[in-house]
Amino acid sequence: MKRGIPMAWHGLNRMVTGWLVLLIVTFASSSINAEPVNADADPTLLVMGDSLSAAYGIERDEGWVSLLAERLAGDAQVINASISGETTSGGLQRFTELLGQQQPDIVLIELGGNDGLRGLSPNQMQANLASMIEQSQDAGAQVLLLGIDIPPNYGQAYRDAFTGVFYSLAEEYDVSLVPFLLEDIALNDALMQSDGIHPTADAQPIILENVWPELKPLLETTHQAAVQ
Q: What is the CA radius of gyration of the chain?
A: 26
Which listed residue (50, 51, 66, 176) is catalytic?
Answer: 51
Tell me the pLDDT of the chain averaged across its residues: 86
Sequence-distant (≥ 6) Cβ neighbours of residue 129 within 8 angstroms:
88, 109, 111, 112, 145, 165, 169
Residue-wise pLDDT tens digits, 147-162? 999 999 999 999 999 9
Which listed residue (105, 136, 149, 198) is catalytic?
Answer: 198
Q: Is 195 a catalytic residue?
A: yes
DSSP string covering 44-70 = EEEEEE-TTTTTTTS-GGGSHHHHHHH
Which listed residue (31, 138, 194, 195) is catalytic?
Answer: 195
Q: Is 53 a catalytic residue?
A: no
In this predicted model, which residue has the larger pLDDT, 49 or 23?
49
> Would you say residue 2 has pLDDT above 60?
no
Residue-wise pLDDT tens digits, 103-118? 999 999 999 999 999 9
pTM of the model: 0.82
User: Which sequence spans correspond to the domains of the chain?
Assistant: 1-34, 44-227
For the domain made up of 44-227, the CATH class stated in words is: alpha beta
Q: Is 31 a catalytic residue?
A: no
